[in-house]
Structure 1
Amino acid sequence: MKLKEDADPRAAAVLRRALSDVLRTPTGQEVAADFVAQNASAEVRFDKLDGTLISVNGRKVVSGIRGEARNGSVVAINRLFLDADPELASREMAGTLAHELFGHILEEQRAKNADFPLAALHRYRGDEANGRLIGWLVRTELGAPLSDGGMWGYLKDPEAFHKSLALIDPYYALTFGPDGLADPVPVLRARLEQSRRRRESMDETDIDMRKWRFVIEHFVAEHKMERRRFASVGEDSDNFLEEYSSIKREAGEVEEDIRKRIEFYGTPEGREALRKLSEASRSEHLRAFERRLERYRTRLAMETRGRKREALVPPPPDQIDFDALEKLYQDDVRDNPRHWGL
């Protein structure tokens, strides 16, 4: 593995630290040995990726694309990590590096070694699940807060996790489980309708989040509550609304890409692609991949047993969260309906 030189003098040390963190975890050591055994190689670099730095209870974290694997040989890490909170960025970068390097680059090399078609690998939802599981395991083994809602969702119900992921990102919208690879078109048609319904409901979510800004101002102005007690929930609302335009844009892209893919599968070239996907869905390579995913999921369940989702950055103890804000609002509607024009 090669670390690409960077003009930023901090870059080399930060990348080496991230790799060192990965390799001191049991999962990192296991997949690194596999990486060597498969004769895989990669260049790791910082790059400008879509995203922004947001504040979470006063500490800067990367929101957006944290990393990506390119062409089976390059791992790009979001340059924003260099300016994020160092302690949080260190563990997040380790998980991101493990995800991209050992979740994707390694699997492309494994597929090549097994003569498994890369086109099928890139349409297989397990490729992303693999990266996420490895990243979650590395973060967990490093002692990072168990703050990723996606991790908890996957542990609870992998199928529901994949259905949700397929509706929020154009790339994952065109990926399938083994059964879906065998016959993708019905899956895509159902997904198109699900995406349409989700997009139509998104404006309600926007209105709901904006409502909380008004509710907060009401309790500060009318009930003389301290504004600082709403800092965390206000920050969460602002972060969501800042990202909302890109969320809506991607929802439209999901539908457009699904339509195009359905049309493609109706062409002679598309029908040949369907035949190859169906063949890949029955391969031993894919069955072994599914077993590996289940092994990682079982390990992650054991690592997190008895715990629950944690805050990435715990708020001050007297902060009002969304549940408490909802109760304040409902109680005030009941006791002071005129405050709300009722």
Structure 2
Amino acid sequence: MRNFRAWAPLLALLLALPAGRALTAGELESESAGSAELFDGTGRYAGTAAQAGASAEGKAQLLAALKTKVAVTGTPEQTAALNSLLARVLDSPTGRELAVQFVREDARASLSFEDIPGTQVFEINGRKTFNASGGHAHTTYDPPTVHLNSAYQQAKQEDAPGTLAHELFGHVMERRRAERHGVQDSYIYHQNEEANAGLIGWTVHAELGNRIDNGWAWIYMANPADYHRRLKSNMAYYAGTLSTEEMQDPLPAYQTRLRSAEGLLLRLPVKKEQNENWLKIIDHLVEAHKRAAEAFRTLREKINAAIAGVASDELRLKDIQTYLKKLIARCAGEAGTAWQRQLERDSENAYFAEQRRVMEEREKVLAGLMLGRTWDTEQPPERPGQVTWPQLEEMWKQDQDSSCGWRV
């Protein structure tokens, strides 16, 4: 999957995707006026995001400046694809605005693909997809490192630019800002560190003309508190993040989350069995009641994907348990007390208030992009004639009420 032929469709897709609607993020593009010389070849960029968006030449100058800060590594085919992704991010008004900031912050990063454990590529409705993380950033490395999931070589190519913006601008650049405020050791424990990166990625993705089909975006915009609660069981790092209030006393929060993770882990076998039973029910409806097998194709794909994902769910929850136990142990003793006091002091740093202000601006932009859309309208069309979940549940209810007598 690492040869050029495999990457050719991705490169073509990235170059052919429609540009985002600039007016939706006009406020983000208004920067102070720059000099006539936008880029001098040494990494200094004196132009604005608006200038970069005004012409192909302006975008090329910003891209050249950005590439002096981002070292792309991998095979020739991989580096070509990653460079195309960097260019694609700059088709987004938000991407250009943040690229200018990245250069001016003198932030740096290395960028490559990585095989992320637990990733499985599968097909639903004729479209290849995967449910694992799209990437991650190691912000304490020198320079910080961004890894994108190598599964993007096979699936979900349209999601890759948003993920890159999320990691590069939402995590790597944010580390740089935290360092300026002296909170680099504590900012990563605040739950807005991920939410801010999420807003960046979702907005760039939408501005590039894509469907807003990331469930986390809709959950966050509907209820940020619910988003933060759900995210705590999604990955070990997220489980360790705290609200401003929790930073003042983190131990009870960690203890509660550990109990929650243990409960979720115990329920995984039940989840697997329930999905396996639905496959048996579908088989029964097809074999005993002569329902058309093709009508259940999409449901089978979704159920099989859920079953296949149980193993990675188990790995994820065990990682969360291990991480939370380490954090709980860290709270003990004099060193633990000192760490908790540092979190408490840093929670009042101006950095967090400024981050929240910026996030509110990003929320307004994303809300504008969501106007007239719903979660349902953003889903890709399914195959015609497919049985839906409610229909399957009704079929099973009628079967149980009948004289058939079959049971799972």
Deviation at 1:238, TM superposition (A): 0.8
> How many residue pairs are counted as aligned between the two chains?
335
TM (norm. structure 2) is 0.77
Residue 195 of structure 1: CA displacement? 2.5
| Equivalent position SS for 1:338 | coil
Shift of 1:197: 3.0
Structure number with larger C-alpha Rg: 2
- Asked whether 1:207 is paired with 2:273, we answer yes
The equivalent of 1:60 in structure 2 is 128
Per the alignment, residue 325 of structure 1 pairs with 392
Q: CA deviation at 1:25?
A: 1.1
**Contact 1:54/1:63 (<8 A) preserved:** no
Unaligned runs of 5+ in 1: none
- In the alignment, the residues of structure 2 paired with residue 258 and residue 3 of structure 1 have an alpha-carbon distance, to the nearest angstrom, of 34
**Once the two structures are superposed, what CA deviation does each residue of 1:252-298 show, in whole Å capped at 9, x if it has no partner?**
33233223321220122221111111111011111111222222223
- Give a deviation string over 1:282-328, Cα, whole Å, max 9, x none: 11111111222222223212211231114654221211122221122
Superposed counterparts of 1:42-61, under 5 Å = 42-50=109-117, 51-61=119-129
Q: Please state if 1:28 is matched with 2:99.
A: no
Return 165-174 or 199-208, whichever deviates more. Answer: 199-208
Q: Is the 8 A contact 2:233 2:239 kept in 1?
A: yes
Distance 2:328 2:96 in 1: 41
Change in Cα spacing, 1:303 to 1:167, as seen in structure 2 (3 Å) is same
1:130-279 to structure 2, matched below 5 A, reads: 130-279=196-345
Q: 1:312 to 1:49 in 2, by over 3 A?
A: farther
How far apart in 1 are the matches of 2:404 and 2:348?
A: 62
CA offsets per residue over residues 24-71 of structure 1, 9 Å max, x none?
112112211221221212222122222222212222223312111122
Q: Which residue of 2 aligns with 1:302?
A: 368
Q: 2:381 aligns with which of 283, 303, 314?
A: 314
Structure-2 change in CA distance of 1:159 and 1:64 (3 Å): same
In 2, distance between residues paired with 1:256 and 1:3? 33
Q: Is the 8 A contact 1:10 1:82 kept in 2?
A: no
Residue equivalent to 1:10? 77
Q: Report if the CA contact (8 A) 1:38-1:113 is conserved.
A: no
Larger deviation, residues 65-74 vs 273-282: 65-74
Corresponding residue number in structure 2 for 1:293 = 359
Match of 2:122, SS state, is strand
Query: For the Cα contact (< 8 Å) 1:3–1:15, is it kept in 2?
Result: no
Alpha-carbon separation, structure 2, partners of 1:128 and 1:337? 51
RMSD: 1.9
**Residue type at the aligned position of 2:292:** E
C-alpha displacement of 1:119: 2.1
One-letter amino acid matched to 1:78: N
Give the residue type in structure 2 aligned to 1:80: A
In the alignment, structure 2 segments of 5+ residues that lack a partner are: 1-68
Could you tell me which amino acid in structure 2 is paired with residue 36 of structure 1? V
Equivalence for 2:193: 127
Q: Identify which of 150, 161, 167 aligns with 1:79.
A: 150
Counting aligned pairs with the same residue, the percent is 27
Rounded Cα–Cα distance in structure 2 between residues aligned with 1:62 and 1:248: 17
Residue 337 of structure 1: CA displacement? 5.0
Tell me if structure 1 keeps the 8 A contact 2:73–2:110: no
| Matched residue SS, 1:60 | strand
Distance in structure 2 (CA, Å) of the matches to 1:247 and 1:161: 18
2:21 maps to none
Q: What SS does the corresponding residue of 2:136 show, helix, strand or coil? A: strand
**Distance apart, 1:114 and its partner CA:** 2.2
Kept in 2, the 8 Å contact 1:183–1:278? The answer is yes
